[in-house]
């Protein structure tokens, strides 16, 4: 047999072998763990250099080469967040995790789902999310990736000093770095770099829209579809508008006496810096916002606002997409003590300092005082409903409209209205991002999922339906291709008003619905997107 033939046979044999637990990623090799459920995981892998010392507040850099094989069997620490202690988190946090079917080969070319966790860009709220459930729902025909990215001042401190000598929007640039890492290395884990779907919930959903808008809508081949839950649209400030954040941090740390305040901030112990890392009011707001640090309009990564800029003017790639929300997006954010119109208006003004008095009056008229609950202010649910639509639901509807206007037929929207008895009794209802527990499976998420989502409970079956829809979309860029959803057809969102229909998930099943009275409210509050800097 010719030597060339032998080499060819060896190459074919090698491509058909299951991927080894040890995977080379050029700068080092990582040893993963084969689980009993048919999935191999590599967790705690560096995708960027530790952002320490002179790299604090800098754009992410390539990891340094490390000889030998590194164990990838423990999750890396999550990133420091605003107001968090350093016991459970670290500044050295830029780690990525990959979950792949254990029988995947180097030539499997499996679809990839990369998930951005939420947390308002001030925390990592879904640490160590496990991809096993969504992979099983996808019949072991996908690779799952998740990562930590910098948040709070570590990822989003801005101002003149940061702009001239460091880097803005580093949390988003961390995400971009991870996407580039996937393009380079995911094939070595059995994934297809030409079939990457990005997703996320809350700030993770916002991250999806921000990555679509980044660099004036230039995504290249980094991803090919999007699936977002509770996509968030907070305010986006300009660099001058964020200067107060930098200045306040300099004052609180004692760096005001330094001739070089940025070098001083970089020299501080992270534990000390965290001790003075707090939310403060700014921009004319009467009080502190829920989330102070956030993406900024830097004319580099972000050249325009997202909702009122990139999406309103069609400067984004209209890739196949899912967007949607739960029914009661605002209940976990609005203070339960909200007692009157003044309390409600103050909360909204804290989140959106540029909102006008006229707009606040209109919002008050649009949203009637809602159902009352024990130990809650009379205006709690009124504010919850207004904030939920203003920040989450109505922007999601607007984006679906823009996709349809661009002629993208692979464009779907949903409403998650699956009632958990305990949450319903408490008044929080079908709360913000609760569907993430169903999409990944209640055994694979951080925190405590609703008891009714567990196997054998009343919401387990419908949870499996949305999970399968998600898996179908990841694999086929169409939630209806792949089956396993009980015969439900998820119609796409179209440009005609009667085509503005979304899939309604409820305990007893799923079916299409129109947006009803929500259309009028959304048409009104969406007029505010420019003023709100969304």
- Does a structural domain hold residue 323? no
* Residues in contact with 65: Cβ distance below 8 Å, sequence separation at least 6, in sequence order: 27, 28
- Does a structural domain hold residue 322? no
Q: State how many domains the chain has.
A: 2
Within 491-534, strands assigned E span: 501-506, 509-514
- Does a structural domain hold residue 325? no
CA–CA distance, 443 with 37 (Å, rounded to integer): 13
282 and 203 belong to one structural domain: yes
245 and 272 belong to one structural domain: yes
Nearest to 230 by CA among 199, 252, 255, 253: 199
CA–CA distance, 28 with 342 (Å, rounded to integer): 57
338 and 404 belong to one structural domain: yes
Give phi and psi for 358, each to the nearest 5.
-60, -40
268 and 203 belong to one structural domain: yes
311 and 388 belong to one structural domain: no
Q: What is the pLDDT of residue 15?
A: 55
3-class DSSP state of 191: strand
CATH number for the domain harbouring residue 158: 3.40.50.1820
pLDDT digits (tens, 9 = 90+) for 494-508: 988 888 999 999 999
477 and 513 belong to one structural domain: yes
143 and 288 belong to one structural domain: yes
Q: What is the pLDDT of residue 123?
A: 87
277 and 310 belong to one structural domain: yes
Q: What is the pLDDT of residue 115?
A: 98
pLDDT digits (tens, 9 = 90+) for 22-62: 999 999 999 999 999 999 999 999 999 999 999 999 999 99
Q: Please give the residue range of the domain that contains residue 132.
A: 1-317
Q: Using an 8 Å Cβ cutoff, are 294 and 202 in contact?
A: no
Q: Which residues of the chain are modeled with pLDDT < 70?
A: 1-16
Q: What is the pLDDT of residue 5?
A: 45
pTM of the model: 0.95
Exposed (0-12), middle (13-18) or buried (19+): which is 328, by Cβ within 10 Å? buried
């Amino acid at each position: 047999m010719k030597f060339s033939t032998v080499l060819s046979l060896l190459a074919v044999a090698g491509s058909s072998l299951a991927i080894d637990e040890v995977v080379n990623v050029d700068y080092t090799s990582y040893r993963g763990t084969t689980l009993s459920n048919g999935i191999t995981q590599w967790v705690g892998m560096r995708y960027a250099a530790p952002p320490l010392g002179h790299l604090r507040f800098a754009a992410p850099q390539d990891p340094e080469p490390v000889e030998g094989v590194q164990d990838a069997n423990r999750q890396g620490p999550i990133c420091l967040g605003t107001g968090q202690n350093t016991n459970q988190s670290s500044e050295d946090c830029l780690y990525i995790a990959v979950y792949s079917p254990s029988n995947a080969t180097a030539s499997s070319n499996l679809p990839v789902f990369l998930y951005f966790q939420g947390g308002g860009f001030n925390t990592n709220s879904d640490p160590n999310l496990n991809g096993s459930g969504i992979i099983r729902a996808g019949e072991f025909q996908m690779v799952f990736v998740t990562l930590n990215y910098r948040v709070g001042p570590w990822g989003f401190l801005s101002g003149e000093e940061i702009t001239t000598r460091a880097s803005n929007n580093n949390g988003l640039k961390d995400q971009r770095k991870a996407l580039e890492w996937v393009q380079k290395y995911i094939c070595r884990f059995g994934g297809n770099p030409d079939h990457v779907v990005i997703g996320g919930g809350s700030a993770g959903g916002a991250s999806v829209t921000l990555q679509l808008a980044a660099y004036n809508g230039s995504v290249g081949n980094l991803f090919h579809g999007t699936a977002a839950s509770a996509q968030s649209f907070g305010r986006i400030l300009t660099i001058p508008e964020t200067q107060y954040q930098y200045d306040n941090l300099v004052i609180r740390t004692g760096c005001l006496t330094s001739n070089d305040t940025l070098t001083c901030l970089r020299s501080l112990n992270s534990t000390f810096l965290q001790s003075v890392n707090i939310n403060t009011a700014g921009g004319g707001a009467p009080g502190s916002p829920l989330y102070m640090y956030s993406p900024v309009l830097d004319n580099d990564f972000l050249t325009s606002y997202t909702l009122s800029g990139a999406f309103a003017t069609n400067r984004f790639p209209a890739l196949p997409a899912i967007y949607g929300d739960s029914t009661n997006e605002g209940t976990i954010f609005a203070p339960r003590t909200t007692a009157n119109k003044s309390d409600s208006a103050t909360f909204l003004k804290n989140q959106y300092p540029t909102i006008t008095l006229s707009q606040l009056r209109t919002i008050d008229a649009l949203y009637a005082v809602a159902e009352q609950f024990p130990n809650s202010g009379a205006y709690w649910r009124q504010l919850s409903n207004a904030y939920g639509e203003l920040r989450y639901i109505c922007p999601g509807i607007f984006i679906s409209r823009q996709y349809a206007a661009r002629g993208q037929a692979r464009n779907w929207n949903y409403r998650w209205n699956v009632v958990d008895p305990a949450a319903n009794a408490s008044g929080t209802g079908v709360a913000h991002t609760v569907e993430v527990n169903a999409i990944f499976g209640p055994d694979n998420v951080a925190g405590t999922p609703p008891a009714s989502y567990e196997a054998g409970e009343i919401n387990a079956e419908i949870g499996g339906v949305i999970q399968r829809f998600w898996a179908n979309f990841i694999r086929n860029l169409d939630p209806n291709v792949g089956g396993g959803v009980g015969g439900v057809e998820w119609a796409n969102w179209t440009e005609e008003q009667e085509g503005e229909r979304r899939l309604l998930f409820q305990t007893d099943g799923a079916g299409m619905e129109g947006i009803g009275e929500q259309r009028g409210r959304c048409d009104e509050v969406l007029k505010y997107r420019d003023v709100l800097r969304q």
